[in-house]
Amino acid sequence: MNILGISRGTKFSPNLANSDAAIFATVVEELKGLGHEVKTIHEDEILQYDYTPFDRIFTMARDGESLETLRVELSKETLQKFINSIAGALTCTNKSSVAAIMLEAGIPQPNFCNGQKRTLLKSFVENYNELNVPIWLKNSDSSAITADDTIFCQTEEECRNALLNFESRGVDTWIAQEHQKGDLIKFYGVEGTDFFHWNYASSGHSKFGHEKINGKEKGYRFNAENIKRYADLMAKKLSVPIYGGDVIIDEEGHFWFIDFNDFPSFSICRSEAAKAIAERIIQ
């Protein structure tokens, strides 16, 4: 096969640029080792590139404006070559959209409400009583690229200050999500393969240090196969077979999805993940 790989811009790899580059390079080597021709470009080049010669295209790009341009301008036939899909990658950059799809699919997640800039504080006041503090306020406009895109709030005053922070930065949409106590688990998977890896957040790399809010894990028992089943369901709905995310496990083994992302760095399981990703690309 003739395969194109698109690497991720460092802007969208806060504190993880080396890890994102490493999984990309490892996947490229896996594909070449299987006898495929692989060309690579940076996501800064995606609007000026001709995609017609390629049989498959795997992308880590996350620039919303560029991805939206491709989604509109490329033919349906060309868009079908992309793994992960452009539409799915765009959806993953919007936390409100991800939460809505999880809700529709019956995937367990904390209670949440959405808001928009034009009714920023007004809509928060109207919906505040529907949620139990503490809560997380998350920027829904794009992937998190700074620590202030996800803010932990323990009081109404902290929530108001966080929303004012969003407003001052020009954030148009946000999601408020109840905090869940329990063990924080990070998971990584490739839908369509047997690959699925999980680890406690404390044993992996942290983007912004938010994981410390949940404290040291207690080792609560849970069924990882159920998490994979829901994660694969989400991956199918988004056409994002290469994925990662976070779940909270409580003392009874119940779990809640709190994040779902396209093409994470897989830094803690890179070698095994790269083999599964290469397998999925050539399926």
Reported as a single tens digit per residue, the pLDDT across 197-212 is 999 988 765 554 556 6
Reported as a single tens digit per residue, the pLDDT across 211-245 is 666 778 899 999 999 999 999 999 999 999 999 99
The answer to whether 259 touches 177, Cβ cutoff 8 Å, is no
Q: Is the pLDDT of residue 129 over 60?
A: no
In this predicted structure, which of 9-18, 70-79, 91-100, 255-264 has the lowest mean pLDDT?
A: 9-18
The DSSP-derived string for 164-208 is HHHHHTT--EEEEEE---SEEEEEEEETTSS-EEEEEGGGS--SS
Closest to 41 (Cα-Cα) out of 3, 69, 68, 13? 3
Give the pLDDT of residue 4.
98
Dist. CA 25–CA 29, nearest whole Å: 6
Reported as a single tens digit per residue, the pLDDT across 161-182 is 888 888 888 887 888 888 999 9
Tell me the average pLDDT across 38-59.
95
Considering the chain, what is the average pLDDT of its residues? Answer: 88
Which amino acid, one-letter code, is at 85? S
Instruction: State the DSSP code for 8.
Output: P
State the pTM of this model.
Answer: 0.88
Give the pLDDT of residue 115.
63
Give the pLDDT of residue 280.
98
Tell me the average pLDDT across 28-52.
96
Dist. CA 226–CA 228, nearest whole Å: 5
Q: What number of other Cβ atoms are within 10 A of residue 5's Cβ?
A: 20
Reported as a single tens digit per residue, the pLDDT across 65-100 is 999 999 999 999 999 999 999 999 999 988 889 999
pLDDT band at 25 (very low <50, low <70, confident <90, very high): very high
In this predicted structure, which of 61-70, 115-124, 146-155 has the lowest mean pLDDT?
A: 115-124
In the sheet with 2-7, reading across from the earlier edge strand, the strands are: 37-42, 2-7, 56-59, 82-83
Closest to 200 (Cα-Cα) out of 190, 189, 215? 215
Q: Is the pLDDT of residue 58 over 90?
A: yes
Tell me the average pLDDT across 119-128.
53
